[in-house]
Structure 1
Amino acid sequence: MLMEAEFWVAVAFLVFCGIVWKAGGFAQIVKGLDGRGERVRRELEEARRLREEAASVLADYKRRRSEAEREAEAIVASAREEAERAAAEGHARLNEFVARRTKAAEAKIAQAEAQAAAEVRAAAAEAAVRVSETILREKVSGEAAQDLIRRSLGDVRTRLRA
């Protein structure tokens, strides 16, 4: 057994471990592992803090998004109401304009009818005066006839134009 290589490898390993222990190597190894564990713990805490911060930012963005959606819906609804109101107002103005134009046209028509009736009456009066004048001249003669014709024609004209 003393001549086997595995025995001497085990002995060399134990001597090496003894030298490392005396030189404080195990303490350095433990200290390094503790430092690494502390570093991993800090990184985990930082990762947890960043995760919580990201969750907070995400919640804030979700809240802002929902507020923006509600605001956009309100703007769309307001715009829709404004458009409907403007359309109704335009329709009302158009109806009012048409009513005014219709009324003005009816007034012009009535005025034209009245003017036409007056012109017809005037033409009829003028024709009646001429016919009367012609008839009276044929039947009545002399100065008295001329005076009678003038008075009668004046009366006829006055009555027909009234």
Structure 2
Amino acid sequence: MIRFTTLFLAFSAGPALAASGPFFSLRNTNFVVLLAFLLFVAVLVYLKVPQRLAGMLDKRAQQIKAELEEARSIREEAQAALAAQERKLKEVSSEAERLIAHAREEAELAAAQAKKELQETLKRRLQAAEEQIASAQAAALKEVRNRAVDVAIAAARDVIAAQMTAQQANKLIDEAIETVEKRLH
């Protein structure tokens, strides 16, 4: 089909038919150019250049598909890590709630002995529980952020490494050097 279309377009070309004199003559430049073009197209088809180009494009499409699958799996891993951290955060919150409930029970039992001691003990335990909650929340958030940053950096590194040329890398290095010089002076 490609050969037929190419031949049809080559023979139906307007400028080739508009030349003066007999068309099928080696002295007619349009005819010679047409023959050279057809010979060139025939060499390309003989050397299977269109099939090779199609193969290269298919290979690149497969690479892109693999990169997308890898990015999807990294995203799923990040979501799983986030869900695990959220579960840990809920566990810590429920533990803190249990600690608060326990402190309240002890406070009610000790109310008969000393109301003043009960208030001080309750204040200390509530503060400790709140600090533990805050600490656990901060640790969980920090761990989630660190994991997300690690995943993002790894994905960005892979994407940049796959797409960056040496010239782009050199340009980024030069820009970084200029920025450092400006900040130091």
- When normalised by structure 1's length, the TM-score is 0.49
**Greater helix share, 1 or 2?**
1
- Larger C-alpha radius of gyration, 1 or 2? 1
Which of structures 1 and 2 has the larger relative contact order (alpha carbons within 8 angstroms, sep 6+)?
Answer: 2
